[in-house]
Amino acid sequence: MAVWDNYAVLLNDQGFCRIYSLDRKELAGSYRLGSFHKNNHANCASFGVEYPEGNMTFPALYVSECRRPYRCFVENVNLDSAKVIQTLQYQAAGGEAQVVHDWIVDREERKLYGVSRLLVPDGNKASDSLRIIRFPLPLLSDGNVTLTAKDVEEQFHIYLPNLLQGGSIRKGILYLPVGLHTGNEHRKDAERAIVMVNLKRQQVTHILNLQEKLMNEPEDVDFHGKHLLLFCGQTGGIYGSNTKIQIIKKHKIYMNIAVILSGGIGSRMGSNIPKQYIMVAGRPIISYCIDKFVQSNEIDALVIALDKQWIDFIQPYVVMLQLPVYYAEPGETRQHTIYNALKLIRSHGGVDDDVVIIHDSVRPLVSSQVIHDCICGCIANDAAIATISVKDTIYMSAEGNCITDVPKRSTLHAGQTPEAFKLGKYLKIHEERSYEEIAAVTGGAEFAFRCGMKVFLSKGEEINFKLTTPEDLERFEQIVNSNQL
């Protein structure tokens, strides 16, 4: 399936094409592609960048053959006909066709990706692996193109033993639909799901589980505005001639929303203004924190919880950000502030599976890796908190004067932020508690844990320290002035 404007191009085995009008919700065209042949297994397609000569309705359509010799047919498609205008193939040095099940165009970067499911050596056995190769996107004027190893710009493998097919790329994320498992070894959480691969990090960052929402396996995906359309075949994954257009499912992709807590006073710093607004090298501390989240490329929206009097002060540092920014009012306690932010996110369309990443504005040295690990830990569980190992021996004393217990140091972890929570579950436990109960909360992750949420301990870093005292501020200034950020 491929989506352009208000049309979805649906393919079946062999290369039969149906064009569906998304706004009129009716069939707009039906015909055989130029690449139609009986051994073709074409159910993956993506639109390219260039428009074929004489066609201003659709860009060139890149259709994956999916079976040997694993070609990519570039077609000039209209509402009533199509013809092949270019053929692409990946070959080894000896001329042997290399396996590429799905050819996917990254329109934003003008790249062509080849995705293949392979068996690779893994100790004494062979394991399923997904190979992802990046090529430059050939021009239509190049004619038929044979790609070789010298054209490979980058390639990597990810382990996922489920059946993946089709895909779409947006903002550096490869969205792969996952069908039924193919053997005894598989991941249940990735069966009838959407796997999201960060192409820069070369790793799976999200798995959107759709088992309860889809009866049939998704066979391809593409974007229509801010929504992802799922093309689902009949039971067993077969798209037959009698399949109905209603098999298209619309699902809003969940978001990662950062909440920066900036309502504290910071009395221990001894400053006449809240410590997050202290200027360091010409910028307030909070601006360093915001930059860290924006630079992580993991965040879709930003919520800053702060007193209204400081909005104009920080506005110059957020006005140029390429993502939505919202302001939440601080509450009487830290947890009430978090609750206000959660309600704000819900009021702006937040869904249950959205990941809310909460961070202290006075931890300005948080790294992209810490943010990433916390988000991934939350996605796989209900929540996550960045932690570091405890180095010193901890003694417990019931009365405060004699040791009553010495817990194992290996079981102890010191909490930091960020903390990440699935919006639906975290908001619900707040809604079910009284104002006084929320006021008594001393830690967001502790609250989630005591309310039955599964909280993952993600990896923090020593450098992610909190600016609490003048000594902390001096240490941060030294790091900034030495250009170690």
Q: In the prediction, which pLDDT does 191 show?
A: 66
Q: Give 3-state DSSP helix, strand, coil % of the chain, rounded to 5.
A: 20, 35, 40
Stretch 385-395: mean pLDDT: 92
Distances (CA, A) of 329 to 239, 336, 355: 51, 10, 20
Label the pairing between strands 72-77 and 82-90. Answer: antiparallel
DSSP character string of 29-98: EEEE-TT--TT-----EEE-SSPPTT--SSPPEEEE--STT--EEEEEE-SS-EEEEEEEEEB-TTSPBP
Q: What is the C-alpha end-to-end distance of the chain, expressed in Å?
A: 44
pLDDT at 152 over 70: yes
pLDDT at 190 over 70: no
Edge-to-edge order in the sheet of strand 413-422 = 325-328, 301-305, 256-261, 355-360, 413-422, 383-389, 455-459
Task: Report the range of poorest mean pLDDT among 29-33, 41-45, 302-306, 373-377.
Answer: 41-45
Over residues 428-439, the pLDDT tens digits come to: 999 999 999 999
pLDDT at 307 over 80: yes
Give the domain ranges of the chain. Answer: 2-252, 256-481
Peptide bond just before 161 cis, omega within 30 deg: no
Right CATH for 2-252 from 2.120.10, 1.20.58, 2.30.30, 2.115.10:
2.120.10
Dihedral sign of CA atoms 190, 195, 198, 199 in order: positive
pLDDT at 126 over 70: no
Contact 35, 73 (CB under 8 A): yes
> Tokens at residue 410, please?
């290996």
Stretch 417-431: mean pLDDT: 97
> Which residues in 437-466 are b (16+ Cβ under 10 Å) and which e?
ebeebeebbebbeebebebbbbebeeebbe
pLDDT at 245 over 60: no
Residue that is written with structure tokens 């993506």 in the block: 46
The CATH architecture that domain 256-481 belongs to is: Alpha-Beta Complex (3.90)
Q: In the prediction, which pLDDT does 484 show?
A: 66
Share of the chain above pLDDT 90, in %: 55
Stretch 293-309: mean pLDDT: 91
H or E element in which residue 463 lies = none
The answer to pTM > 0.75 is no
Region of 278 please: left (phi>0), alpha (psi -120 to 50) or beta.
beta
Return the number of other C-beta atoms located less than 10 Å from residue 426's C-beta: 27
The residues with which 198 forms a beta bridge, in sequence order, are 173, 203
> Tokens at residue 296, please?
């992580």
Over residues 352-387, the pLDDT tens digits come to: 888 999 999 999 999 999 999 999 899 889 999 999
Residue type (1 letter), 44: C
H or E element in which residue 398 lies = none
Task: Report the range of poorest mean pLDDT among 157-161, 234-238, 279-283.
Answer: 234-238
pLDDT at 268 over 70: no
Q: In the prediction, which pLDDT does 353 show?
A: 85
Q: In the prediction, which pLDDT does 141 show?
A: 96
